């Protein structure tokens, strides 16, 4: 891998942690599919990346739980096009997007209670709906 992966202005994954290989792609492509290794498999050893915070690593591990290999490296595959370099760019972009998602700190939900006014509005609306249905059934006193 020749280039490091620029995630954002503050983070760049070193090229030493990225490795990729090209294999034969499946699917349509005629005779070309049997000759050319255009599918790209990208592996990223994010556990050895000291700049990535531990909580972000944990979120990344959860986000990519189905894409981790036996050594705990992130495994990304791309066979979007018939061109190896474009598939490599696509795999790198998938990895970048996944890391960016892991960097987002989820907002903690603060439990709240409904206000007295909102409870009153809900009950009032329930009462009106019940009266409407009662009238439809013929239980109303109107004529």
pLDDT confidence of 30, banded at 50, 70, 90?
A: low
What does the pLDDT average to over 108-134?
A: 95
What pLDDT score was predicted for residue 15?
A: 86
Tokens of 48: 């050895």
What does the pLDDT average to over 111-120?
A: 95
* Res. 16: pLDDT tops 70: yes
* Res. 133: pLDDT tops 90: yes
Task: Kindly report the CATH number that applies to the domain delimited by 5-103.
Answer: 3.30.160.20
Cα pseudo-dihedral 8, 86, 77, 47, rounded to 10? -30
- Identify the weakest region by mean pLDDT among 38-42, 88-92, 97-101: 38-42
Number of C-beta neighbours around residue 89 at 10 A: 15
Number of H helices and E strands in the chain, helices first, is: 4, 5
What pLDDT score was predicted for residue 83?
A: 85
Q: Any alpha helices (H) in 22-83, and if so which ranges?
A: 32-35, 54-63
Domain boundaries, the chain: 5-103
pTM, 2 dp: 0.69
């Amino acid at each position: 891998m020749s280039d490091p992966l620029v995630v954002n202005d503050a983070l760049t994954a070193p090229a030493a942690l990225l490795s990729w290989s090209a294999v034969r792609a499946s699917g349509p492509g005629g005779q070309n599919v049997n000759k050319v290794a255009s599918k790209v498999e990208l592996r990223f050893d994010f556990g050895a990346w000291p700049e990535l915070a531990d909580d972000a690593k944990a979120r990344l591990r959860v986000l990519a739980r189905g894409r981790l290999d036996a050594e705990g490296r992130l495994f990304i595959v791309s066979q979007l096009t018939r061109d190896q370099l474009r598939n490599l760019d696509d795999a790198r972009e998938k990895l970048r997007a996944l890391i960016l998602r892991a960097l987002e700190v989820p907002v903690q939900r603060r439990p709240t209670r409904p206000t007295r006014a909102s409870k009153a509005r809900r009950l009032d609306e329930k009462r009106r709906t019940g009266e409407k249905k009662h009238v439809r059934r013929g239980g109303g006193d109107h004529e």
